[in-house]
Amino acid sequence: MFSNLNHFFMAEILDKWKTIRWQHVVFIMLIGLLALGTEGCKSTGKLTKKERKAQIETAKKQLQTIIDGTSTLSLDEQDRLIADITNKNYKDPALNQLLIEASQKLKQAYADQAKANTLKIDAARAKLLDLILNKEDLTADQLERELDTIKAQNLKDAEISELISRLEKKIRDMRSFNSEANLPVKTQVENAFSNIAKAARSGNLPDADATIQNTLKFFSSGDVPVLIIISREGSIVDYDKPTTINRYLNFIKDQKASNNKIDAMQLDANGKIKELDLIKK
């Protein structure tokens, strides 16, 4: 009897199950899935109060290291960090104040970096000009070691690059056999004085004139002032009437004698002589 009843109820359930419209079931299931998906998006896209507070505290600590100057990040990385925190717009007054202070600190750090770089470039420029003139009469190897020290600074400056190229050429010339460039500029100019006088004494005026023109290449112009020291006692120096390098070279040719040597010289930004002091040999 129970067996028959069971068969009866099962048959009735199956009949009712067959009458359910499957499209309704699928529709209901889709609605449920969309609801779950929307809820999931909400949970990942919106911070809880606890999460927001934690992120703000982390941001404050990061900004404080920039303000204190203890951050291990590069200046560019600090800049990106400040921008990232700003873009998140936490609307926290204390955090906003730290953003202002960190931005000001970073701006000053960039300015200090630029100033330090300028000082390095100025020092390298002066050193390179000295090396090109080779006032200390260094060998090619010694010049190259000095040059390598400057190149290791990796200074991004067009003028420094040009001076480096000039010094490299000088070193190459010094290593060439019997090259005049292996002598300091001071020595080359003094030798030119003697050669002009020698050529004039022998009556070879074209050679004297050619030497004058070649010597002028060491100077910023033919009008560079030349001061001849008559006497010097301590810090008191008496000079003869000022002249120019062009006139002085022709004076040597006319007198057929070179009676003065270089006491001091000043250079311009291109390494050319812009002022020359002479004293009797």
Which of 206, 194, 174, 176 minimizes the C-alpha distance to 258?
Answer: 194
45 confidence band (pLDDT: 50, 70, 90): low
> Are 160 and 125 within 8 A, CB to CB?
yes
Quick one: pLDDT band at residue 25, thresholds 50, 70, 90? very low
In sequence order, the β-bridge partners of residue 261 are 279
CA distances from 102 to 25, 71, 234, 248 (A): 59, 11, 56, 62
Answer yes or no: is pLDDT of 6 > 60: no
On the CB side of 269, CA atoms within 13 Å amount to 5
Are the C-beta atoms of 277 and 236 separated by less than 8 Å? no
Domains and CATH numbers, the chain: 53-178 (no CATH), 183-280 (3.10.450)
Condensed to tens digits (0 to 9), the pLDDT of residues 204-259 reads: 999 999 999 999 999 999 999 999 999 988 889 899 999 999 999 999 999 999 99
Average pLDDT over the chain reads: 84
Is the pTM value of this prediction over 0.85?
no
CA distance 25 to 18: 13
Neighbours of 82 (CB within 10 A): 20
Which residue, chain included where needed, has tokens 């019997």?
Answer: 178
Which is nearest to 273 in space by CA: 203, 213, 193, 216? 216
Positive/negative CA dihedral, 135, 139, 141, 142: negative
Give me the pLDDT at residue 269, please.
87
Alpha helix stretches (DSSP H) within the chain? 2-19, 22-45, 49-68, 75-88, 93-133, 140-151, 158-175, 185-201, 205-216, 245-255
Task: Tell me phi and psi for residue 173, to 5 degrees.
Answer: -65, -40
Contact by Cβ (8 Å): 227, 265: no
